[in-house]
Amino acid sequence: MKKMCLMLVAVVAFAASYAQPGNGFQRQTPEQRVAAIHAKLDSAFGLGAAKLAPLDTALVVLYKKQDEKMKEMFSGGTPDRDAMMAERKKYSDSRDEMIKAILSADQFAIWKDKIEPSMRPQRPPGNGGNR
């Protein structure tokens, strides 16, 4: 009986450590998003911190502006989907221009085709549209 209680406590503690409030998705800060891009670019192309530092700074500013704009759009309720998608495209285009400035054409093609798609947040399983 004692063993069973200990095992139950362990299972509950394990499950609680993975429980997240809301929908299970926590948005990354601008600094976390930039760090992920920095790590991917450095590991893929060996650019080094010195070459990536100006990009890091510019991307943090860009992502903070994007977050402010998204917060503004959501403040009035549910925003217009098309307007929101247009804003996101504007920011991703700006990000791509910044990245394009430090990569060769071949490297940028690799970024767009392989690296960028792998960085999109994945939705947790079971949270589909059937609510």
Q: What is the pLDDT of residues 72-108, one digit of tens each?
A: 888 888 888 898 899 999 999 999 999 999 999 999 9
Residue type, 31: E
Is residue 12 included in any domain, yes or no?
no
- Residue 25, C-beta contacts closer than 8 angstroms, at least 6 positions apart: 121, 123, 124
Question: Hey, what's the torsion of the CAs at 39, 44, 45, 47, to 10 degrees?
Answer: 10
Is residue 99 included in any domain, yes or no?
yes
Tell me what pLDDT residue 73 has.
Answer: 87
> Between vectors from CA 32 to CA 49 and to CA 66, what angle results, nearest 5°?
110
Is residue 69 included in any domain, yes or no?
yes
Task: Report which of 77, 93, 76 is spatially closest to residue 85, judged by C-alpha positions.
Answer: 93
Q: How confident is the model at residue 22 (pLDDT cuts 50, 70, 90)?
A: very low
Task: Report which of 29, 92, 26 is spatially closest to residue 84, judged by C-alpha positions.
Answer: 92
Please give the model's pTM, rounded to 2 decimal places.
0.69
Is residue 19 included in any domain, yes or no?
no
Is residue 108 included in any domain, yes or no?
yes
**Average pLDDT, integer, range 100-120:** 91
Is residue 128 included in any domain, yes or no?
no
Name the domain count of the chain: 1
**Average pLDDT, integer, range 6-12:** 46
- Would you state the structure tokens that stand for residue 94, as one six-digit string? 């700006």
- Would you state the structure tokens that stand for residue 104, as one six-digit string? 């060769």
Summarize pLDDT for 23-60 with one digit per residue, the tens: 455 788 999 999 999 999 999 999 888 989 999 999 99
Is residue 56 included in any domain, yes or no?
yes
- Residue 56, C-beta contacts closer than 8 angstroms, at least 6 positions apart: 34, 38
Range of the domain at 34: 26-118
Is residue 6 included in any domain, yes or no?
no
